[in-house]
Amino acid sequence: MHLHIIGICGTFMGSLALLARELGYRVSGCDANTYPPMSTQLEECGIEVLDGYLAEHLDGRPDLVVVGNTISRGNPVLERTLEEGTPYASGPQWLAQYVLRDKWVLGVAGTHGKTSTSAMLAWILEYAGLRPGFLIGGVTNNFPVSARLGETPFFVVEADEYDSAFCDKRSKFVHYAPRTTILNNLEFDHVDIFEDLAAIQRQFHHLLRVLPSNGRIVMPAGEPALDEVLAQGCWTPVHSIGMELDAAECERLAGENGVFWNIRPRTDDGSEFELEKYRAGTEEPAAAAVAWDQTGLHNVRNAAAAIVAAEQAGVPAATAAEALGHFRGVKRRLELRGVAGGISVYDDFAHHPTAIATTLQGLAAKLGGKGRIIAVIEPRSNTMKAGVHQQTLAAAVEQADQAVWFQPENCGLDCAALADTAESPSRVFDSVDAIVDFLVETGNPGDHIVIMSNGGFGGIHEKLLSILSSIS
């Protein structure tokens, strides 16, 4: 069977291609915007990727076309699909029908941390010998691929709230109906799809409506946006996670809910922490200690959620904590791309004020004041470009010693105004080359340059490292 994927280089669709290939399909695809690491992964796996969206890409007469959620009417490949009556499906629909049926699905949802938490959860199950399948919206450093079928019923999936396809405006995660569900957090995002936070909460409640009563919801305590979703109706047991609460409060919450989990950080940078499990009727909490290479309290919260989710699959918290000691992170999540001239250059996927702030806070805590942090930010997401975060982005870079803003054309975000209001020294540029020139001219040995974008950012990492290497 020949499967053709429109928009194959997206993190979700590229992972879908790997699963289809493993199932024995002939897989091809097309895309107009290709960049690593997904383009590299597809090439290494021998999957044919055609450039652009030309109608003749369907001359091979595929049996089924899978349509990415960024593809809209007017796309030549989609139009030919419809005109010729070729069977088509959305990516989530195909995944649910051909991969997730009869699986124990562990879904990770939320505005932030889905990829990292999915990677942690999959690795915990792998470390425990459960050989799970998974689809992660990024390339992890513990697995050679971002998706695989697995050898057991367990399947970890990054459960995105973005819509499914041009013909299906439900959030992707509604298709998955996971038995174990992590709800990491919930903030307003995806302005191109949702008009306000309430619209996103409505989709999250659609997800709750299809969760089984023998499942488990894992979520942070005291997250108002998620609490409001649960208040609309919940039929699945909830395991809540708090941070640095005193024992009396933890016991009270365990008495109300049957069980409560509490995080106790042991270091400022999040590299060591304990997770305590309080169960109603027991005198002492059970504790699991984690010591790992990751930093930031956001990653601590992600890890705690993964531990609690894995427990329902039969993995003891102590084993999960041990597994995280061997977790090596995800590409494009504060990934060190290279060091040249004594300057460290990182790649990070952060594209929301909360993610930017927590990433920089984690790095600052790790460095402990050794070396400057220079944040380079491309407003690339639809929400960023619409200017939704105009009032909150300046505060997100407080931990940076220098902020560099890229101002694209036709962007609703006013980066000059951000630079004027940010406490960190800020500069605005309208070209990648100008940013590189500035960083080369002003960079000093010991600096840490964090490049933040959910796209390729014009190959800025390679350009910067190349020039720094040539002059060092």
- The domain ranges of the chain are 2-90, 102-324, 335-471
Rounded distance, CA 464 to CA 466, Å? 5
CATH number of 2-90: 3.40.50.720
Q: How far from 163 is each of 166, 200, 204, CA to CA, in Å?
A: 8, 10, 12
pLDDT of the residue at 280 = 87
CA distance 407 to 414: 8
Q: Which residues contact 74 (CB under 8 A, 6 or more apart)?
A: none
Q: Answer whether 56's CB lies under 8 Å from 50's CB.
A: no
Q: Are 294 and 270 in contact (CB under 8 A)?
A: yes
The confidence score (pLDDT) of residue 285 equals 86
Topology of domain 102-324 in CATH is UDP-N-acetylmuramoyl-L-alanine:D-glutamate ligase (3.40.1190)
* Cross-strand bridge partners of residue 106: 156, 180
Q: Which candidate, 242, 243, 233, 194, places its Cα nearest to that of 211? A: 233
Map the chain to HEC letters.
Answer: CEEEEECCCCHHHHHHHHHHHHCCCEEEEEECCCCCCHHHHHHHCCCEEEECCCHHHHCCCCCEEEECCCCCCCCHHHHHHHHHCCCEEEHHHHHHHHHHCCCEEEEEECCCCHHHHHHHHHHHHHHCCCCCEEECCCCECCCCCCEECCCCCEEEEECCCCEEECCEEEEHHHHCCCCEEEECCCCCCCCCCCCCHHHHHHHHHHHHHCCCCCCEEEEECCCHHHHHHHHCCCCCCEEEEEECCCHHHHHHHHHHHCEEEEEEECCCCCCEEEEEEEECCCCCCEEEEEECCCCCHHHHHHHHHHHHHHHHCCCCHHHHHHHHCCCCCECCCCEEEEEECCEEEEEECCCCHHHHHHHHHHHHHHHCCCCCEEEEECCCCHHHHCCCCCCCHHHHCCCCCEEEEECCCCCCCCHHHHHHHCCCCEEEECCHHHHHHHHHHHCCCCCEEEEECCCCHHHHHHHHHHHHHHHC
CATH number belonging to domain 335-471: 3.90.190.20
Cα 384 from chain centre: 17
- Beta strands at 133-135 and 147-148: parallel, antiparallel or unpaired: antiparallel
Give the pLDDT score at 72: 94
Residue 175, phi then psi, degrees to nearest 5: -70, -25
Measure Cα distances from 132 to 25, 96, 147, 160 in Å. Answer: 21, 16, 10, 19
Give the pLDDT of the chain (472 residues) as one tens digit per residue: 999 999 998 889 999 999 999 999 999 999 987 766 677 778 888 888 999 999 999 998 999 999 999 999 999 999 999 999 999 999 999 999 999 999 999 999 998 889 999 999 999 999 999 999 999 988 889 998 899 999 999 999 999 998 999 999 999 999 999 999 999 989 877 777 788 899 999 999 999 999 999 999 999 998 999 999 999 999 999 999 999 999 999 999 998 888 999 999 999 889 999 999 999 888 778 899 999 999 888 899 999 999 999 999 999 999 999 999 999 988 888 889 999 999 999 998 877 888 888 889 889 988 888 899 999 999 887 777 777 778 888 888 899 999 999 988 888 888 888 888 888 888 999 899 999 999 999 999 999 999 999 888 889 999 999 999 998 6
First to last CA, the chain: 53
